[in-house]
Chain A
């Protein structure tokens, strides 16, 4: 990576395992912020985040907007309606206009793959891909990684956490969950986990980003679909492919269900939605084949009754709501990382996940510049999370 500071987030491949780990670590910070009485910090005060959504979106747009505002950034929202794009203005001119207005970051979603990458060539402001066509959805992949890493911190899959409602509150809280550095440093956080991504892979940007991200964190990814709903070639993908869900379901730790993308042509491939359900939906009989500890994920919005039967969305093993909840801290982490000037995260191409996750333990810390305190905590490891998190003496 020639530029050590990440300027854009266009593809999950911009991050690598080290970058993913850093985003997750930052998300812990922002998960704590989100629990405060006033869940807002002045970190990005004075920055402007433009949200350009050229395709319908509810959760992603709301989640980015919330994330930006909780960091005290101003937001500008631009949709496919109500903008000059309807008057024939090109995206290029729109982006230039946003830059001229003084936006610092452009979060963009577009129905055509590659638009964020093109836009990044036309502007100097940071560009975040919020989903481009069939290509990628990197922040969703980060959310999914974060959700699973949090489960791992709770001891899953060795411990059964699925039936335990108490755990749902503590996710993302450093105060109550073991921190990632308690893993062996060389251990990738999802090593040994087998994740089946099921459904319309071909038209799914989530499947593309997730396959890469999960694999980077050490998970084994299996794509389960019928050939017309699979990409023509998987030579770039670190995955295996299975056509029959029931043949692998018993080995899965995570069942990741995708939405059938009727608007992208996925609906034409399968004769009927009933047939799709027959092949790939999660119903109670399939649930019985899934291991007890297995978790269910879905990027939303869920077509209840198509990919998953009505009640299973809300089952204890379903992470769907946790995925949604993790959207805000992850997107806060991404925006903070890109926009907090040189304080953003630096990616060293030669550093590995383990060093990223453990570098605090070396105790080598920051020196402030001229106007700040010179101090160091070199001789005491700042391991507060466990001890300070309790009322002393009780």
Chain B
């Protein structure tokens, strides 16, 4: 079988084994759900059908009871390289990405130097050549991310950069934001905004509400985010620019998004796994691991995000993976760094919070439900697949340090295809990676795939994650859903939950 490789993705090492068979799974992609084995030859899918007999010498990956999905796409990760390698590197970040089921991650430009010129874009691509997932650099909107003048967006766009953002330092100047959106129209790129009015945020450290008042920590009001969401939606409407709203966190922001989409504004939005799962009550012990921007909001906001996801008004779940070494987190709350890691836990958190607690299309696929593995859960003799109530039925999962996972109410929960769309094909389209990533699993498609054991329960151990940093807010919590295998351009980078390099 002769394969043609896209030049920019030719990798010099780790030529994939020639053939891989994913056997016994249920394929879920943007076209639907079907019971099928998937044969990968080289970098592409060569067959998708039931009962493929393993050819000689093929690597067989078992997928009994698992979902075979297009690889996940993260719109928002801080890889810290170049410049902050003590926190993370492209190698360690993409290893986590692979372990988390991702085959592509958009790298935020707040590195040192920042990704604000073609040279840095090339450097990041160069470092990422051997990475375990595709690293998609996002460019800075403004030079040095200083919010003063535009960065050379066109030269970066020529290299294939499709998303520009000053994430972490929200673009405050409304005139400059208007300019960026106008300029982006000509380049055909997306402007992504971290929505926070710095005046209204006023040095706040946590969500302004009951908990900030109780804990005596300065609060960031919801209106600091909503003011910016509102302003940028108006600017997108005026300019026709494509606007992506990063990590929305408040009920008010979702309302504004609903209205904007109704009016036909070209706007997309993402939410993070931590904003849909945790509330500001997590801060009760003042652990800076819960310090994140935007801050963890209250229960009402979390429910609004669940609603936004279930009504499809939110387009993607993105990690905002933000590694920080322990010395940046084991300090007084006001001095602690902002952010949490998430690549390895995102899918499991999303499944735990939003996943429908039933099997997908079991009858359609005409397979024995008991073939779906659910270790540790109550798989009754009759194939009764009810997950024990402490994970699913109740409101929360294993509280640690006062933090509890907020599980969506049953009517807001999503089916597996719906949930995977938010983590794979929808974000792939926003980042213009479709169909290389997130495309349907069919003959001839690029073999960017992940195999998910949706009911596997596991407990997060910060020390066991592949990050250089430990700042996961989910340490010690039990989650549901684990990535079993990941194939990146045909290369089985994760087999049975173990990174292959």
Contact = CB atoms under 8 A, between A and B. Distances in A.
Place the interface of chain B in its size category: 20 to 34
Contacts of B214: 236-237
Contacts of B209: 232-233
Nearest to A92: B330
A114 B286 contact: yes
A135 B215 contact: yes
A110 to B, nearest CB: 6
Contact of A233 (B213, B217, B331): B213
Interface in B215-240: 215-219, 221
Most chain A C-beta atoms within 10 Å of own C-beta, residue among B215, B216, B333: B216
Contacts of B279: none
B332 interface: yes
Given A117-B285, A118-B286, A112 B332 contact: yes
A233 B216 CA distance: 11
A383 interface: no
Given A113-B333, A118-B332, A132 B216 contact: yes
Contacts of A233: 209-210, 212-213
B331 A235 contact: no
Contacts of A133: 216-217, 334
B327 A118 contact: no
A117 B401 CA distance: 12
A257 to B, nearest CB: 20
Interface in B320-369: 327, 330-335
Given A135-B216, A232-B212, A233-B209, A112 B285 contact: no
Interface in A102-151: 110-115, 117-118, 121-122, 132-136
B491 interface: no
B217 A90 contact: no
Interface string A81-113: 000000000111000000000000000001111
Given A90-B327, A92-B330, A121-B285, A114 B215 contact: yes
A113 B332 CA distance: 8
A231 B215 CA distance: 10
A114 B335 CA distance: 12
Nearest to B298: A233
B216 A232 contact: no
B217 A236 contact: no
Contacts of B208: 232
Contact of A134 (B216, B287, B331): B216
Nearest to A117: B286
Interface secondary structure of A, over-half rule: loop
A115 B205 CA distance: 14
Contact of B286 (A90, A111, A113, A205): A113
A112 B331 CA distance: 10
Contacts of B219: 232
Given A114-B286, A117-B286, A236 B334 contact: no
B199 to A, nearest CB: 12
A234 B332 contact: no
A174 B288 CA distance: 46
A210 B286 CA distance: 21
Given A90-B327, A134-B217, A235 B333 contact: no
A208 interface: yes
A217 B417 CA distance: 57
Contacts of A134: 216-218
Interface in B290-343: 327, 330-335
Contact of A90 (B210, B213, B221, B330): B330
Contacts of A208: 216
A91 B332 contact: yes
A121 B287 CA distance: 10
Given A118-B287, A121-B285, A236 B332 contact: no
Contacts of A91: 331-332
Contacts of A112: 332-335
Contacts of A232: 208-210, 212-213, 219, 221
A237 B211 CA distance: 11
Contacts of A92: 330-331
Contacts of B213: 231-237
Contact of A113 (B210, B217, B331): B217
Interface string A211-238: 0000000000000000000011111110
Interface in A8-28: none
B329 to A, nearest CB: 10
A28 B460 CA distance: 50
Given A112-B334, A134-B217, A236-B213, 5 more contacts: A112-B332, A135-B215, A135-B216, A231-B213, A233-B212
> Top 10 nearest A-B pairs by Cβ distance?
A114-B286, A135-B216, A231-B213, A134-B216, A113-B216, A112-B332, A233-B210, A236-B214, A112-B334, A235-B210
26 contacts: A90-B327, A90-B330, A91-B332, A112-B332, A112-B333, A113-B216, A113-B217, A114-B216, A114-B286, A114-B333, A115-B286, A115-B332, A117-B285, A118-B288, A118-B330, A118-B333, A122-B330, A133-B216, A133-B217, A133-B334, A134-B218, A208-B216, A231-B212, A232-B209, A236-B213, A237-B213
Interface of B: 208-210, 212-219, 221, 285-288, 327, 330-335
